[in-house]
Amino acid sequence: MSPSLDPLLRGIAVGALCLTGASVWRSAIGRSARLATLLACLSTAAWTLTEAEPTSSGLGSFLPLLILAFPVAGFFWLFVAAVFEDRPLSALAFAPSVLFVIAGVAMVAAPPRFSGPLVLAFNVASALLCLHAAVLILRGWRDDLIEGRRRLRALVVGVAAAFGIAEAGLGALERLVPTRLATLLSIRQVSGAAILALVAIAVGVLFLHARAPLFPVQTAAPPVGDPRAEAADHLLLVALTCFMDADGWRSERLTIAGLARELGTPEHRLRRLINNRLGHRNFADFLNSHRIEAAKRRLADPAEARTTIALIAFDLGYGSLSTFNRAFRRATGATPTVWRRAALQTWVDLEKTV
């Protein structure tokens, strides 16, 4: 492939990334998803420019651009967590990106004899973080209740994760055992730029034309369509409610497939019902909502005032107290200890007025 195509290919990639970031930022989706997507697009665009051989001594050495490019793996991981794990952005979530910026600046400032090991460590860390992002994408596939998002995990974002792992791995390989393959596929070469352009265009098409499956409004949708289908959905909703009210959520290792078998309904129909009618984006959140409601009842019960929070958490199926604390705080805005204190104080105040 002719080296003269390099600027064109990088321009296509940068244009697609910037258009995607701007489109998502101007949309009505949640703030965390918008910010994570914008940062991932801008950082990838900066990385595309700084890794180009023709510009490595010019634009590619421009420090602000380098600082934006260094955390590309961190911002991609942040994007996956916000979009596919529905995680709200916190200060701690930005820690990997900050560490990559610090490491990148150290690489630039270090003497030549130290820069090699630093670059190797940087590439290995980037590959591992992209690998973890790929694990997150795959781990949530089964529980994802949004059909469009389930399909898109593997089709495009999975490809982007694989590309990030490959590029970071090739960067490390070039340092350890230089090979023709590593050089040929590197993002620094025109062939690597061509692959990146294709990935950027694919991601751009995904977000511009299929944004709704990725970023649906997180509210329960009113029933729409065939009255017979609505009646069938109503019956299924009643059966689901009865099952969960009978503490069906306590069943060990309950999955969406297992629940569908229990209710005698196709899995895709149950996914759609829980997502559209009940407003849950993944099955774990659906189960967790029932666990949290049970926890609130027990924490507010004066008869259980001496029962430890840890015992309640383990009783409800949580593997650790920290996991329960995070889930409870996310659902209620308060820690279990604070919530229990307020609930019991309300009970005491009522007793005093009687």
Per-domain residue ranges of the chain: 3-214, 218-281, 291-354
Token representation of residue 331 = 């659902």
In whole angstroms, give the CA distance from residue 203 to residue 40.
12
DSSP 70: T
Using CA atoms, how far residue 112 sits from 66, 105, 108, 217, in Å, is 18, 14, 9, 51
Tokens 């027990």 sit at which residue?
Answer: 298
pLDDT of amino acid 277 = 86
CA neighbor of 122 nearest in space, from 73, 161, 159, 76: 73
pLDDT of amino acid 230 = 80
pTM for the model: 0.75
What SS3 class is residue 282?
strand
Residue 189: other Cβ atoms inside 10 A: 19
Q: How many residues does the chain have?
A: 354
- What type of residue is 196? L
In whole angstroms, give the CA distance from residue 108 to residue 224.
58
CA neighbor of 297 nearest in space, from 334, 326, 336: 336
What SS3 class is residue 145?
coil
pLDDT of amino acid 151 = 72
- What type of residue is 94? F
219 exposure class (CB count in 10 Å sphere: 0-12, 13-18, 19+): exposed
**Any residues with CB less than 8 A from the CB of 147 and at least 6 apart, and which?**
213, 268, 271, 272
Q: Are 103 and 70 in contact (CB under 8 A)?
A: yes
In whole angstroms, give the CA distance from residue 326 to residue 324.
5
Q: Are 129 and 107 in contact (CB under 8 A)?
A: no
SS (H, E, C) 242-277: HHHHCCHHHCCCCCHHHHHHHHCCCHHHHHHHHHHC
Using CA atoms, how far residue 251 sits from 36, 287, 317, 320, in Å, is 35, 10, 9, 18
pLDDT along the chain (354 residues), means of 10: 78 91 82 90 91 58 84 93 84 93 89 82 88 85 80 70 74 62 68 83 71 51 63 89 88 84 91 88 88 91 90 86 88 90 78 60
Report how far Cα 12 is from the mean position of its chain's Cα atoms.
26
DSSP 153: I
In whole angstroms, give the CA distance from residue 316 to residue 309.
11
